[in-house]
A and B are shown apart, each in its own frame.
Chain A
């Protein structure tokens, strides 16, 4: 009997191994299409652009044959380009701040709403996500241009004599950016408000805290993780966004993404455009890592409280 059992076990083991191998094979079959496209049309092109960014500029073909660090050195040693970096970060910071301020009350209102009203408000807040960004920015052009809605209104009221320059300024870029990125912040803050146990708020009120006190000592600290998470998203999307600064800022308000586009599409300086692009990736990644470190710490803080 003994040997027969052995072969049976062997058979079972073999069967199991075969199954495992087959499973491993279909795992990779499931991944193959996505992975193939990503390796070939995402990783490889970015890798080549990275290499290009270390090449010299050749006015004829765009990319020279010599190796150089000059593209990076030129960018970080020129006050003009550093000014562009500062403007990019400044616009992203202001956008993030404004977005937090205007989305908090809205997120609160939606989380407290019930049934139908909640559905409609959610749809209203998310609808900008669904309508083309180009078109929305274009709407802002009509509102902010020299003979646009704002200037016409102010002039017909007699408050100003000459139109204010609103369009193609950092102001108009921030307006457009806030409009585009608002839904991300609302969703993130809503998530953290809805996770709060309502009895905590009631406890604070029953113990005699004013609405202000309840907000600053209970609600705000508990929703900080949501605010931080939303900020990471808004900041990084804002730093790397191209459509809004291109339409509402144009060449007058150059940010890093626009500079990348301009170097490649207008100047045909591929190596320099590539270098600016990778510095942009660097800035976006560093902020995300820094933010998520803070986020991890603040979540710990909340847990301890």
Chain B
């Protein structure tokens, strides 16, 4: 038994180092946003919330934050709605060209987003669609529908359809059956898809970088371009707010669904 203890210690220590590696950049950002210095330093020197109050002088970050949330929200709602409908067709119906449809809808996962961003920018400029929340939402729908469909298809596959026919035999119309029977059963897949869509859209830099204009700028693009010219702690306070926002979102979701459920339906 004694012989086994040392390797086990090394094993656990290795895993511990990996967890430190995973959390390092996030912890570094959160802590260095509290520095009193004019430059970014870790560990922070002194403690102040000055870089958070300083944000008042940077309304552009606030408007970008609002835009990002609007776009992510729109994307999540639309991508989940149309992705769920398409999943129903893919799982429950037989039709010609099903494989082609499945491959087409899955292909944004294979196409580098840079190339899609370039293609979309060229297409938008040809059809005359200027940078707008709508233009961003359309691009993000393409990026997120594959995730939504994966999650919803997974929750539809094990679905016991006899409860639907029971409801129909009892006189429920197709819409009623969908909203009162089908949707509640596949709820966790649908909600997980919605969360993924929201996060993917909120996080996207690559596609948005091509679509934004000077006055329509999402938060990741704002941070990216700001970083290229300045290196002050404002960035760390903005980033910290984003991290805290995500954590709060996760806690709410945890309360509603349970983490286990969200991730197991993956």
Which residues of A does B touch, CB under 8 Å? 23-24, 27-28, 30-31, 33-35, 37-39, 41-46, 48-49, 52, 102-103, 105-106, 109, 119, 122-143, 147-149, 179, 182, 187, 211, 236, 239-243, 246-247, 257, 260-261, 264-265, 270, 273-274, 277-278, 280-281, 284-285, 288
Q: Determine the chain B residues whose CB is within 8 A of the CB of A48 once the complex forms.
A: 119, 122-123, 126
Tell me the nearest residue of chain A to B239, going by C-beta. Answer: A135
Q: List 7 A-B contacts (CB under 8 A).
A: A30-B85, A31-B86, A45-B120, A132-B243, A179-B22, A236-B110, A242-B112
Q: Which of B199-238 contact A (CB under 8 A)?
A: 199, 202-203, 205-206, 209-210, 220, 223-224, 227, 235-236
Q: Does residue B170 face the partner (Cβ distance < 8 Å to A)?
A: no
Using an 8 Å CB-CB cutoff, how does the interface string of B180-214 with A read, 1 for contact, 0 for none?
Answer: 00000000000000000001001101100110000
The complex places the Cα of A134 from the Cα of B28 at a distance, in Å, of 14
Q: How far is the CB of A24 from chain B (nearest CB, A)?
A: 7
Number of interface residues of B (CB under 8 A): 76
Known: A41-B138, A138-B227. A34 touches B83 (CB 8 A): yes
* A120 and chain B: residue at smallest CB distance: B259
User: How far, in whole Å, are A128 and B29 apart by their CA atoms in the complex?
Assistant: 14
Task: Kindly list chain A residues whose C-beta atoms are within 8 Å of the C-beta of B116.
Answer: 42, 45-46
Separation in Å of the A35 CB from the closest CB of chain B? 7
B165 contacts chain A at the CB level, 8 A cutoff: no
Q: Assess the B139–A41 pair: CB atoms within 8 A.
A: yes
How far is B118's CA from A142's CA once the two chains are assembled, in angstroms? 30
Whether B28 lies near A142 (C-beta < 8 A) is: yes
A27 near B142 with CB under 8 A, answer no
Interface 1/0 per residue, B252-265 and A, CB below 8 Å: 00000001100100
Q: Lowest 5 CB-CB distances: which A-B pairs, in order? A: A139-B25, A240-B112, A45-B123, A277-B115, A30-B89
If A46-B111, A139-B25, A284-B112 touch, whether A27 touches B120 (CB-CB below 8 Å) is no
Identity of the chain B residue whose Cβ is nearest the Cβ of A240 in the assembled complex: B112
Give the residues from 139 to 185 in chain B that come closer than 8 angstroms, CB to CB, to chain A.
139, 141-142, 145, 149
What is the bound-complex CA distance between A127 and B253, given in angstroms? Answer: 14
Kindly list chain B residues whose C-beta atoms are within 8 Å of the C-beta of A134: 203, 205, 220, 223-224
Question: Which residues in B have their C-beta under 8 angstroms from that of A126?
Answer: 263
Contact, CB under 8 Å: A179 / B25: yes
Query: Which B residues touch A35, using CB under 8 A?
Result: 86, 101, 104-105
For the complex formed, measure the closest distance between the CB of A194 and the CB atoms of chain B, giving whole angstroms.
11
With A and B bound together, what is the CA distance between A187 and B145 in angstroms? 21
Which of B83, B113, B123, B242 is the most central at the interface, judged by chain A CB atoms within 10 Å of its CB? Answer: B123
- Do A42 and B89 contact each other (CB < 8 Å), given the known contacts A143-B28, A274-B118? no
A24–B40 CA distance with the chains assembled, in angstroms = 61
Q: Is the C-beta of B47 less than 8 angstroms from some C-beta in chain A? A: no
Checking B93, B139, B227 against A23 with a beta-carbon cut-off of 8 angstroms, the contacting residue is B93
- Complex contacts, A138 vs chain B, CB 8 Å: 25, 29, 223, 227, 235, 239
Task: Give the distance to chain A from B222, nearest Cβ to Cβ, in Å.
Answer: 10
Taking a contact as CB atoms closer than 8 A, the residue among A30, A102, A247, A285 that contacts B224 in the complex is A247
Contact A284/B82 with A34-B105, A41-B142, A260-B115 known, Cβ cut-off 8 Å? no
